Chains A and B, each alone.
Chain A
Amino acid sequence: MRGALVIVGALAALLLIGIGSWAGWAEAGVLLVGGIFVASMLWYPPPLLRAVSSVLLAVFLFAFLQTVAGPLVGVVLAVGIAGLAWRFLPLRVHRRIGFMVPSMVMLVFVTTILMYKAPGSPFAAEKQTTQQALEAQAKKFKVEKTPLAFFNTYMKGLLLEGTMGLSVKVQGRTVEQLLLPALPVSMSLGLLALVFATFLGLLLGVRAGLKPNSAADYSSMGLAMIGISLPNFVIGAILLIIFSYWLQWLPVAGWGSYGHLILPSITLALPYAAYIARLSRNGTIEVMQQDYIRTARAKGLSEPAVVLKHALKGAVLPVVSFLGPAAAGIFTGSFVVETLFAVPGMGQWFVKSALARDYSVVLGTAIIYFTIITLFNLAVDFAYAWIDPRVREEM
């Protein structure tokens, strides 16, 4: 154990020195403190953990609600919800929250460092290039000189003023004005894709798994292989040509009607549907060899009843634990799909702003993505514990 601690400690120190000399010593110091804070929570006694995570939750909720609904509502709701959480939520959820909120702050910080280290600046394309004009611009948009200073200003704005900052590229707009309309677009696209992926994947996978090495198996798995082996933007473009240009059943690109949702979400879903198909095929094959399936058959259940009531649960388990990573992949996979179909969602904003070095918009997308994915993972964990009692004990 001692040897390991020495090795790991030495490597961590090396990493820190690397970061320090590359991005600045103050930045490395903040990262170290943040890391120690998050790690130290493993040693907190339960009451302390409960209190700390509730406070963190209150701060997080306040920052969020204040931006959406104003400071007064923010305080009341944040304190209220955090109080309820403190009183009623089980310890394992507190452990999660205590991890999630500081992680998000760290993520904002790391993102800031990465953006500042990228060559170029938000004002690179401006015509007025005198030093004074640039400084005035930087001051107006609160673009500081070092990542740490920027992070500081950004966090202050978020907590004290309830704003995610001004966009440099879209003049006169705040980040929340840009991103809040894009959020439902990306969410509906992502959720629909997730539903498509799960149903299509389970359908193919269970069908294949019930009769291994049959024609049904090979055709389903062949389809899944195509889904995994071709970039989905190629499949999406082909679908676009077929359904929008030739058959003219669906609108070409953009956003607004239900028709606009179909092709992007199918395109987004395909690789995950393929992966889910493979997982559920293996799950089904394994389950069908279990004793309780033989029992179910022996007591005279019809084959569909055996599959639906008993086998499906086993086939679904590996899929459920894949849903967390899948959601993360789908939400960020939308970077590509939104660009291809010109969907005005969060992914477009991220890619555009990252290329234009519009720092505060990038940070805004980072926070929103991270929140969505963390919440989704939490939900998946609960779903898993609900389906599989063996996990429930551990949690």
Chain B
Amino acid sequence: MSDTTTPSAATMVQGNSLWSDAWKRLKKNRFAVAGSIMLILVILLCFVGPLILGLFGLDAETTDPSMANRPPSLLHWFGTDELGRSYLVRVLVGGQMSLLIGFVATITSVVIGVFYGAISGYYGGKLDEVMMRAVDFLYGIPYMFLVILIMLMFPPDSDVGPLPIFFALGIVQWLTTARIVRGQVLTLRGQEFVEAARVLGASDMRIIVRHILPNILSVVIIYSTLTVPAVILLESFLSFLGLGAGLTWGLLVSEGLSVVNPVESYWWRLLFPSIFLALTLFSLNFMGDGLRDALDPKTRKE
């Protein structure tokens, strides 16, 4: 990236100037800091909350017909749904799945994308052209289209569980990562430190892993932070179409939509999952923006 970067992974671990600088800049960005705190809070709530609520006998699946569609109360802070299930627990448990999908699908897409993009960009030539052509082809397919077809193949209640959704969402997101990584690698591979490594007899794999990847790490981090909210949002669309991953925020929001209209307004069923979903996406987007400002001096606002 910048010329001051030391192109070695060994110094990276000790924290060199680029990363400590970035950390300092990130800490100054109020939005990013607020976003990170919020995100940690939401994650803690979603994963620890249901355990604590379980001690009070509340869980996501226990039904109670006498308590159907009650507004928020002391026992059920977020109200109940039409089967009398506590909405607070359902929102938190749904969050677990939404967050998991976001992170796992992003990791999948980053691994594929970085690997693909690095090879394509590093070797260049016809190999690059063929590989980028395949990416172009996949880009031409509307991704919702592909995702829906893959989701049909593995219904969420099948014995493999929600795994296919990670797979389906990851597989449409790696394309952009691959393109970005390829572009970065293309500019890096001609630079002196790569030449130097080659002269010293380093193998291609070693050059890619030890010298080029550390230099594109910041771009990959920025992009993956912005991929997580995109994936969570995509899952909510699928839930809306009835193809979701089971109990997620997307499902709860879509259910909420169907019971909020001028005739019957169980507003809590739309409001609470929407707030959680929006807060999480807000935080992730702010974090992504903050990281970009911190790590990429070119786009930093003065």
Contacts and interface: CB of A to CB of B under 8 A. Distances in A.
Given A241-B262, A366-B145, A370-B141, A351 B282 contact: no
A229 B285 contact: yes
B285 A225 contact: yes
A114 interface: yes
Interface string A87-100: 00000000000011
A333 interface: yes
B10 interface: no
Contacts of A354: 148-149, 152
A233 to B, nearest CB: 5
A366 B141 CA distance: 8
Interface residues of A, number: 59
Interface residues of A: mostly helix, strand, loop or mixed?
helix
A380 interface: no
A18 interface: no
Interface in B226-277: 229, 233, 236-237, 240-242, 250, 253-254, 257, 260-262, 270, 274, 277
A227 B141 CA distance: 24
Q: How big is chain B's contact interface, by range?
A: 35 or more
Given A5-B127, A355-B242, A332 B142 contact: yes
Contacts of A340: 240
A389 interface: no
Given A229-B278, A354-B149, A3 B140 contact: no
B299 interface: yes
A112 to B, nearest CB: 10
Contacts of A5: 127
Contacts of A306: none
A227 B9 CA distance: 39
Contacts of B142: 328-329, 331-332, 369-370, 373
B131 interface: yes
Contact of B299 (A234, A282, A370): A282
B140 A377 contact: yes
A246 B257 CA distance: 16
Contacts of B141: 107, 370
B222 interface: no
A195 interface: no
Contact of A4 (B123, B153, B233, B242): B123
Contacts of A387: none
Contact of B125 (A1, A35, A106, A107): A1
Given A332-B142, A332-B144, A377-B140, A213 B301 contact: yes
A205 to B, nearest CB: 14
Given A370-B140, A377-B140, A99 B133 contact: yes
A189 to B, nearest CB: 15
Nearest to B233: A231
Interface string B8-21: 00000000000000
B59 to A, nearest CB: 26
B248 to A, nearest CB: 12
A331 B143 CA distance: 11
B119 A4 contact: yes
A230 B281 contact: yes
B64 interface: no
A282 B298 CA distance: 11
Contacts of B122: 4
A35 B134 CA distance: 9
Contacts of B134: 35
Given A103-B140, A233-B240, A241-B262, A42 B123 contact: no
A228 interface: yes
Nearest to B299: A282
A325 B149 CA distance: 20
A237 B260 contact: yes
A7 interface: yes
B137 interface: yes
Interface string A353-384: 01100000000001001100110010000000
A103 B257 CA distance: 39
A339 interface: yes
27 contacts: A1-B123, A3-B205, A4-B119, A35-B134, A39-B133, A42-B133, A43-B126, A103-B137, A107-B137, A114-B153, A119-B155, A212-B301, A225-B282, A225-B286, A228-B281, A229-B285, A237-B260, A241-B262, A245-B262, A286-B299, A332-B142, A335-B144, A335-B241, A336-B240, A351-B241, A370-B141, A373-B140
Given A114-B150, A328-B139, A336-B237, 5 more contacts: A38-B137, A99-B137, A231-B240, A231-B253, A335-B144
Q: Which 4 A-B pairs have the closest CB atoms?
A: A332-B142, A229-B281, A118-B152, A332-B144
